Amino acid sequence: MGDQLSWLDFVWAEVIDPLDFLSDGKFYEEFPTTKAYWERFISLPHISEYWADDDKCMKKPFHGIMARINNI
């Protein structure tokens, strides 16, 4: 969409953040353009303010308490 955000930007951001976490940082090493996308996304004006506020933005766990990753 060029310079306009769409709902897909938010969905994609929610997909790539856990992928990098689960791969111990190897995901962004393998896909550096995706890392650049992530950095641009979280540096957007209102998103960066939200991301920086730990009281508003819950970064982990990625899914609800019923979801399991690697049986943990």
Spatial contact of 28 and 35, defined as CB atoms under 8 Å apart: yes
Within a domain: 25 = yes
Within a domain: 17 = yes
Crossing angle between the packed helical segments 7-22 and 32-42, to the nearest 10 degrees: 120
Host domain of residue 9: 1-66
Within a domain: 3 = yes
pTM value is 0.71
Within a domain: 72 = no
Position 70 scores a pLDDT of 58
Position 57 scores a pLDDT of 77
Here the tokens at position 65 are: 């308490």
Within a domain: 52 = yes
Q: Which residues, 6 or more positions from 28, have their beta carbon under 8 angstroms from its beta carbon?
A: 20, 34, 35, 38
**Count of structural domains, the chain:** 1
**Positions in the chain whose pLDDT score sits under 50:** none
Within a domain: 71 = no
